[in-house]
Structure 1
Amino acid sequence: MKKTVLITGAAGFLGSHLCDRFIAEGYKVIGMDNFITGDQKNLKHLDHEAQFNFINHDVTEHITIEEDIHYILHFASPASPIDYLKIPIQTLKVGSLGTHNLLGLAKAKNARILIASTSEIYGDPLVHPQTEEYYGNVNTIGPRGVYDEAKRFQESITMAYNTFHGLETRIVRIFNTYGPRMRLNDGRVIPAFMGQALRGEDLTVFGDGSQTRSFCYVTDQVEGIYRLLLSDYELPVNIGNPHEISIRDFAEEIIKLTGTTQKVIYKDLPVNDPMQRQPNIDKAKSILGWEPKVDRAEGMKKTFDYFKSLTQEELYKSEHKDFTKFNK
């Protein structure tokens, strides 16, 4: 009998790639999304896939699924500053109420659940690179606090279910990930730079560009998540690429890759924007036998090829959704 996995946030960037991976591995996949930030086109290729079923649902509302579920992957959440600044209350709700609903479902189904946490729980770190034992440096009432604290609470309630109910839980702390199906207008570094390059705009760097990021290609990220789900390890694990680069140098790398002639312009650094972001992946190496395989040059070329394939309408469109109902 095929095992069934429920993936929330299925129409998102990472969620859609996870759907593909689990279908390829022979699972029956139930995807769930309410399209607040996800995109139906990310799942279009699965329209006629017999092993895939989609449910349009908001995970902050009660979830009822009749069939057996063996695994749950909770990836429903806004994941970029532009998104969670527009929908701060929904961001907090999906990390709290949504996670509570899914943990309850996992308990009822006797299913193992993997929670998608984030490197943002480390805030603007005072430890570098960041290990899983670092507690973080987070401004709870700053503009980024709605996302950071949602994820920190998510980890806490997950471990409470693990400890009190004996639920099988896994927690992945995801560092910057990139690849096809990212949204050009979501505010993250790579789609922002590539969108500007393709539109002939100057590349915007915030601050002086000395802040660093570490970018992991999506297939590597999915492999790490897959291994963690099937492992016996219950504490958080960093999954990301430890090869660090400054944003200023990265902008120049994008200009070279795209063959454009734009210059880099500088704007004020957003409040609480982390100055360093680099994962320590010793646990992933030792426990999961995992480390990234795709180097940045290869991954960036694949990602740029994807963005080049977008239509002019997609290249220039911006979000005009009414988010009012999600902020109640």
Structure 2
Amino acid sequence: MELKIVADKDGWNSFIIENEGSFLQSFEWGEFQEQFFKKIWRVEINEESKKILEAQIIKEKVFFINYFYIPYGPVFNNFSSFSEREESFDFFLKEIEKLAKKENVFFLRIEPVNSLPKIENFSFRNSLKRNQPQRTLFLNLEESEEKLLANMHIRTRYNVRLAQRKGVEIKILDNYSNIFYRLLGKTKERQEFSSFSEEHYKKIFNISDKDLQIKIFSAEFQKKVIVASIVVFFGNKVISLHAGSDYEYRALKGADLLHWQAILYGKKLGYKIYDFWGIDEKKFFGVTNFKRGFRGKEIEYPLGIDIIFNNIWYQVYKIMRKIKRIF
């Protein structure tokens, strides 16, 4: 087997898209991380002339401890056998362990889309922290518009039509607008969750290109933006990534219409899946119920795993996390 570092953007994305990988494994997402001065490795594992997997690795730091992170990866060749996956993943971990020693990295965190082979001689632990959604909703965009509407919860369907009757309009922007962050701020205060800095959201738009497109969908009422959402288009998926809204205008149901128009937009362009990007009834009961109103299929990803290269420093990391929770 052979490990290669990949610099060919088109070749990298072609494999990710063909094998239904996440936009978080796209070449562009690595470029996004590099805007924050993070080191990125894009590696592929080949067996003779057959590519078995690709994995985009991000070097992260928590407290003073370095670790590698693979969000929604590695991406395996859909036509590879279980034994090929197992052998390639074993080889991959051995090579990454060598890189970890050079980079002073103590563990590898993976949040996979599919179950990973368990490799002997490596210490696997369930991750102490989750970054990406573990559960989400997929809506099948290959259904007809009529069936998508009919499948909705009666209240959701009513809300979409109510917003239309009230004169809510949906606009699509190719560039960042600071109205998104203002609305996100209002939502953050209301629902008590944390978010990235505005610079983070601005820089997402720097990577928009032919393979990974980023847009803002906004719901307007009497020329005032009342809901705004960052929507990602990659591979066969439309992803509703981040959203903010003005609570004073909640009765207009702009969020329902915004999602519906984003669904129709993606369907028209030939995308197959609309990803609502996360549900969690314990943390976000209201938002989860809202998303479920569109009647998507619930998807649950495997637990995140930490693969430990240095147990002493991993124990230090665990202690630091406990201290942080106390204070």
Q: Normalization by structure 1: what TM-score?
A: 0.28
Which structure: greater strand fraction? Answer: 2
Q: Normalization by structure 2: what TM-score?
A: 0.28
Q: Which has the larger radius of gyration?
A: 2
Which structure has the higher relative contact order (CA within 8 Å, separation 6+)? Answer: 2
